[in-house]
Amino acid sequence: MGGILAMRLEEILPTRPEDFTQVRDNVQALWRDSVLRDALGTLGKETLSRAEAGENLVDLGSKFKTMSSLKRNGSTSDASPLVIARAFELDEGTFGQVDGVDSVYVIQLLGISDGDSTTEEARSIEDAFANQLDQGLASDLFQIFVSQVQQTAGVSLNEQALNAVHTNFQ
Q: Which of 166, 51, 152, 158 is nearest to 105 (CA)?
A: 51
Has residue 6 been placed in a domain?
no
The whole-angstrom separation of Cα 45 and Cα 38 is 11
Is residue 82 located within the same domain as residue 152?
no
Is residue 57 located within the same domain as residue 102?
yes
Number of domains in the chain: 2
**pLDDT at position 1 over 80:** no
pTM: 0.58
Question: Torsion angle, CA of 121/124/129/135, rounded to 10 degrees?
Answer: -160
Give the domain-ending residue among 108, 139, 158. Answer: 108
Taking only the tens place, the pLDDT of each residue in 43-79 is 999 999 999 999 888 888 778 888 887 887 777 777 7
Taking only the tens place, the pLDDT of each residue in 96-107 is 999 988 889 999
Is residue 55 located within the same domain as residue 134?
no
What DSSP string runs through 101-156? Answer: SS-EEEEE--------TTSHHHHHHHHHHHHHHHHHHHHHHHHHHHHHHHHHH---
**pLDDT at position 2 over 80:** no
The whole-angstrom separation of Cα 44 and Cα 61 is 10
Domain range for residue 132?
120-169
Give the domain-ending residue among 67, 88, 108. Answer: 108
Would you call 16 helix, strand, or coil by DSSP?
A: coil
Has residue 83 been placed in a domain?
yes
The whole-angstrom separation of Cα 26 and Cα 32 is 10
Is residue 132 located within the same domain as residue 74?
no
CB atoms within 10 A of CB 165: 10
